[in-house]
Amino acid sequence: MVTHKTASNLMWLMVDFTWICERCGSASTTPIQQIQQIQVKGENSIIDILKRWHPFLKTLSERYYPDLSKVVNSIRGWIDYLDKKYDEKPRLLGPPFYIDTKDAEKLSQDSREWINAIINEYAKQGPILIREEAISQIFPESLLSGLDETTREDLKDALTCIFHLLPTPAAMVSLRIAENLVRRYYAKISGSIATKKSWENILNELEQSNKVKPPILGYLRYLKEKRNEAEHPDKRFTQEESERILLHIKELLEELGSLQ
């Protein structure tokens, strides 16, 4: 699942990698004076760009797209190679450090392969971006059938906040949904209403009942921790956090089944 935050990062990654590919790709036909304007080190330089995106791609490869590990390893190799070859210590004149023609040609080829590999991997996986057209895919009617009207409206509000990149309000409304689900689920399992019980007490009783599957308890614990974070007056949620909370609610609904 690709969040708005990930999609935004991918867009800027492609911009940066395309810049490297195009600037270095002209190495064989460009006068040496222009090649010497492509800095290897320094702010917004080649190494700066590669170091900026390496952790992001590494996380994607470890969590979702293992085939991207080849791209990650290739980028790591270039960082180490360029760092060593264009070392500041042996150079008396110091920065800037400009790339040479052979390195530029090879880096252009490799960066083009990185771009193609990332595009192909996402096309193969068929990720879904949280967007207005995908509501029915993320929250099909089968998941919503047991929800009361207030919770349905809260869900629409949370999605609206996410669409408009308002992560903190989105997270707050999502956590309100989560607490409503916790109390309704407790009533279904125990047969009694949890009006005056705290979320912590509800979870403790559910755990002790031995009637609740571990995955459900895991989701409920995660959402409770996020609710506790939200109680701090200075807490603000990122776009990625707010989308992740909503996706955990979706996964919780899948585990819970009908709440009717």
Would you list the domain boundaries of the chain? 4-125, 132-256
pLDDT, tens only, 85-98: 887 655 544 555 67
pLDDT, tens only, 43-82: 788 999 999 999 999 988 887 788 899 999 999 999 999 9
| Average pLDDT for 127-150 | 67
Nearest Cα to Cα of residue 153 among 129, 178, 173 = 173
Tell me how many degrees the CA angle 250-253-257 measures, rounded to the nearest 5.
150
| pLDDT at residue 235 greater than cutoff 60 | yes
**CA-CA distance, 202 to 194, in Å (whole number)?**
7
Look up the CATH superfamily of 132-256. Nucleotidyltransferases  domain 2 (1.20.120.330)
| pLDDT at residue 170 greater than cutoff 70 | yes
161 contacts: CB under 8 Å, gap ≥ 6: 167, 169, 170, 173, 242
pLDDT, tens only, 192-210: 776 778 888 888 888 888 8
The larger pLDDT score, comparing residue 171 to residue 257, is at: 171
Q: Answer whether 107's CB lies under 8 Å from 78's CB.
A: yes
| pLDDT at residue 35 greater than cutoff 80 | no
- Provide the b/e sequence for 215-227 (b: ≥16 CB within 10 Å): ebeebbebbbebb
Nearest Cα to Cα of residue 117 among 74, 79, 78 = 74
**CA-CA distance, 206 to 255, in Å (whole number)?**
15
Q: Which two tokens stand for residue 62?
A: 């470890």
**CA-CA distance, 201 to 210, in Å (whole number)?**
15
At 12 the pLDDT is 87
Q: DSSP for 189-254?
A: HHSS--TT--HHHHHHHHHHHT-S-HHHHHHHHHHHHHHHHHTSTT----HHHHHHHHHHHHHHHH
pLDDT bracket for residue 111 (50, 70, 90): very high
Neighbours of 19 (CB within 10 A): 15
Q: Answer whether 240's CB lies under 8 Å from 3's CB.
A: yes
